[in-house]
Amino acid sequence: MRNRTLVTTFVLLGLTDDPQWQIVIFLFLFIAYVLSITGNLTIILLTLLDSHLKTPMYFFLQKFSFLEISLTSTCIPRFLVSIVTMNKTISVEACFTQLFAAFIFGIAQFFLLAVMSYDRYVAICKPLHYTTIMNNRVCMLLFGSCCLIALFLVCPGVIVSLSLEFCDSIIEHFFCDYSPILKLSCNDTRSMQLLNYIFAIITLLTTLALVMVSYGRILSTILKFPSAQQKKKAFSTCSSHMIVVFISYGSCIFMYIKPSAEERISLNKGVAILTLALAPVLNPFIYSLRNKQVKEALKDVIKKCTKDTSK
C-alpha cells in the first residue's frame, strides 16, 4: 500500500529515457510543432485578410485552426523544454491547468467538427438558403456554443479532481492526462473513472453521430447530382473533411472510451502524439492549403506583401 504524503509536484516520465531517442523525439516534435503553428496561422491570417474567404466555411476553419494551435501549444512546448532541461517535474497546479486547457480545446474541437459538418450539409443540400441559415450571427453563436459546452463538460471533473489525495508523483505520460493522474490517487476513483467514461461517450459519440448524419445526407444529395464535375467537387471537399474526422475521432475514442485508468497507458502515449503533434500539422493541408481558392488567396497575399516591401 502506498504511503499518503502531501504531493506538491508530479514527475512526467515522457516517452523514453534513452538519450539518443530523446534527441530524435525532440527534433520530430519541434519540427511538427513549427509546421503546425505555421500552417494553422497561415489559415487564420488568410481568412482575416482575403475578402474571398469571408464565408461560414472559412470562418469555422479559422476557429478550428485557432483550437489546433491552442491544443498543441498546451502540451508540446512544455514537453520540449523538459527534454532540453531534463527537468521532468511539474507542480500539481500547473498539471491541472494543462489538463483543464487541453480538455477544453480538445472537446471544443469535436463540437466544432459537428458544426462544420452541418455547415457542409447546408451548403450542399440547401444551397439556396445557405447564406440565410449560416449568417454571421448564427456562426458566432455556434462557435460560442462549442466553447461553452466544452467548459461545462470539463469543469465538474477537474473541480472534483482537485480534492484528490495522491500517494505517488510519477505520471506515466508526457503531459498531464486524466487517466494517468487518477492512477496516482489514494482515493477510490471508480466513480470518477465512470464519470470520465460517460463524458467521453457523450462528447465523442454524440458529436460523431451528428457528423455521420450530416455526411450521410450529403452523400445522398451528391449521388443525385446530374453533373459528374459537381459530384467530383463535392466529394473532394467532403473526403478531406472525413479524413480529419477519422484521425480525430479514431485516436480519441481509443484513448478515452474505456472504463479503466490502468489500461494501455504506454500505447496511449503514441496515440496522443498523433492527436497533439501530427494532426495539427496535417489538418491545414487536408482542409485548406490544397484548396484552389486558398492557394489563390495565398498568392494574392504574397504578391501584396512583396509590392509593399519593394516600395
**Quick check: 35 pLDDT over 90?**
yes
- Cβ-contact 83, 26 below 8 angstroms: yes
Domain assignment present for 306: no
Domain assignment present for 307: no
Q: Which structural domain, as residue segments, surrounds residue 265?
A: 9-295
**Quick check: 230 pLDDT over 80?**
no
Q: Which residues contact 100 (CB under 8 A, 6 or more apart)?
A: 154, 158
Beta-strand relationship, 9-12 and 170-171: parallel
Mean pLDDT of 188-193: 78
Domain assignment present for 135: yes
pLDDT in tens, 269-301: 877 888 888 888 887 877 665 667 777 777 777
**Quick check: 3 pLDDT over 60?**
no
pLDDT in tens, 115-151: 999 998 998 888 889 989 999 999 999 999 999 999 9
Domain assignment present for 308: no
Sign of CA dihedral 251, 78, 110, 136: negative
Domain assignment present for 309: no
Domain assignment present for 245: yes
Cell 441559415, residue located: 133
Domain assignment present for 172: yes
Give the whole-number percent of the chain exceeding pLDDT 70: 87
Kindly report the pTM of this predicted structure.
0.87
Domain assignment present for 303: no
Instruction: Name the residue among 76, 146, 77 with its Cα closest to residue 111.
Output: 146
> How many domains does the structure of the chain reveal?
1
- Cβ-contact 11, 89 below 8 angstroms: yes
